[in-house]
């Protein structure tokens, strides 16, 4: 759509490094490069910092091979390249909450080889979040992170400061849920490209500014005129995906991406915290409760029914698995999730991605998938 309603999110996305530098100049605060959406941003915000999610640049690079294996997923390698190439030279710190082992090695290379990094912190979050011990363990780790940040900034991070930052982040989650609800409509008022601009920029823009822009967009959406055909209603499934060109291509050939299960989208913001008198518990438990990444979805696979529920709620007619090449967690998750969706009437398409390569060949695959769906409807 061409009414400019999402232009600010698009500008933020395209000029995110400029935004971070400007924020730092305006506020005097520290900028922190964050890896993985399990990072407890609430603590960084309470410490007066700006969390900035590390994303790739979708361009070929040749600087990571001395540091991590070429068989690691393209997102790991592209994320490391951005640090080595100085794209995040404004970030004093870098932090990771345990996700996959490959991304942990990306973090390890960042902390050793990116010269502008002044401090780093690793949160060893339990992978088996379903364990009876996980919440207690994660509580202790979040408390340790708080102590580290207090020492770093030289002042106490009080419970009230944490409650305030938690309220801001929860508001952001709530507003994004409201925005995504507009994608349930028969003629969605929000496209997949617009939605990903909104959800991704929440990961590196000051949450208070982001909330204000979301409120303006939500106020305008009820009267927004839909000028495009919806076509087939698609869902995307996978890890991180900010490949705007791919999503725009999908939505140009007779489809609309109406929902996702990705850490660049719904898995980042889907659930708010639950009321607790202990604010650290509220923060820690929220990350244990959030829609699980495959690295944290065992022994019971909670993801399968969650993803199916999203597909049904948003009227999905086909699901596209966007597999980062060599992504072990999602590769292991794929066969059973595919069977679960197809057994419940959701056709699937598997695409293996290298985010640094052109998307051209995928157009033919998408068009063939659309043709298959239209033929199935005839019978």
CA 126 remoteness from chain centre: 19
DSSP one-letter string for 258-283: EEEESTTTHHHHS-PPPP-SSHHHHH
Q: Compare 361 and 204 and report the one with higher pLDDT.
A: 204
Dump pLDDT digits (tens) for 240-280: 888 898 999 999 999 999 999 998 899 999 999 999 999 99
Summarised one tens digit per residue, pLDDT across range 45-57 is 999 999 999 998 8
Q: How far apart are CA 47 and CA 162, in angstroms?
A: 9
**pLDDT tens, position by position, 296-316:** 998 999 999 999 999 999 999
- Asked whether the beta carbons of 237 and 304 are under 8 A apart, the reply is no
For the segment 128-174, what is each residue's pLDDT rounded down to a tens digit? Answer: 999 989 999 999 999 999 999 999 999 999 999 999 999 999 999 99
Q: Identify the burial level of 218 via C-beta atoms within 10 angstroms of its C-beta, where 0-12 means exposed, 13-18 middle and 19 or more buried.
A: middle
What does the DSSP assignment read for 173-190? HHHHHHHHHGGGSSS-SS
In 3-state terms the chain splits into helix, strand, coil percentages (rounded to 5) of 50, 10, 35
Q: Between vectors from CA 235 to CA 232 and to CA 237, what angle results, nearest 5°?
A: 150
Query: What domains, with CATH codes, occur in the chain?
Result: 27-158+231-378 (3.40.50.11900)
């Amino acid at each position: 759509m061409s009414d400019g309603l999402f232009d600010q999110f698009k500008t933020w996305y395209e000029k995110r490094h400029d935004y971070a530098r400007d924020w730092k100049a305006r506020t005097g605060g520290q900028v922190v490069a964050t890896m993985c959406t399990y990072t407890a941003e609430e603590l960084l915000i309470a410490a007066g910092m700006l969390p900035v999610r590390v994303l790739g640049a979708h361009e070929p690079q040749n600087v990571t091979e001395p540091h991590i294996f070429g068989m690691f997923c393209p997102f790991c390698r592209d994320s490391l390249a951005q640090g080595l190439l100085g794209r995040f030279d404004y970030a004093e710190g870098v932090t990771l909450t345990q996700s996959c082992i490959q991304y942990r090695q990306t973090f390890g290379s960042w902390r050793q080889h990116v010269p502008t990094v002044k401090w780093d912190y690793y949160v060893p979050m339990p992978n088996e979040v379903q364990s009876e011990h996980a919440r207690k363990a994660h509580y202790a780790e979040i408390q340790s992170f708080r102590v580290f940040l207090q020492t770093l900034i030289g002042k106490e991070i009080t419970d009230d400061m944490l409650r305030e930052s938690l309220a801001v982040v929860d508001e952001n989650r709530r507003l994004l849920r409201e925005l995504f609800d507009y994608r349930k409509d028969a003629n969605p008022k929000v496209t997949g490209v617009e939605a990903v601009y909104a959800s991704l920029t929440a990961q590196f823009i000051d949450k208070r500014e982001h909330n204000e822009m979301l409120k303006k967009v939500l106020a305008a959406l009820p009267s927004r005129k839909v000028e495009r055909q919806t076509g087939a209603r698609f869902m995307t499934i996978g890890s991180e995906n900010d490949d705007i060109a791919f999503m725009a291509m999908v939505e140009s050939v007779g489809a609309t991406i109406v929902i996702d299960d990705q850490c660049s989208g719904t898995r980042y913001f889907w659930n708010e915290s639950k009321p607790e008198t202990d604010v650290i518990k509220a923060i820690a438990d929220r990350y244990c409760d959030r829609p699980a990444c495959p690295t944290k979805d065992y022994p019971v696979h909670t993801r399968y029914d969650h993803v199916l529920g999203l597909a049904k709620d948003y009227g999905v007619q086909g699901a596209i698995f966007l597999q980062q090449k060599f992504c072990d967690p999602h590769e292991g998750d794929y066969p059973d999730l595919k069977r679960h969706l197809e057994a419940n009437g959701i056709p699937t398409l598997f695409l293996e991605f290298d985010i640094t390569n052109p998307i051209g060949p995928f157009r033919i695959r998408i068009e063939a998938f659309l043709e298959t769906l239209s033929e199935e409807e005839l019978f």
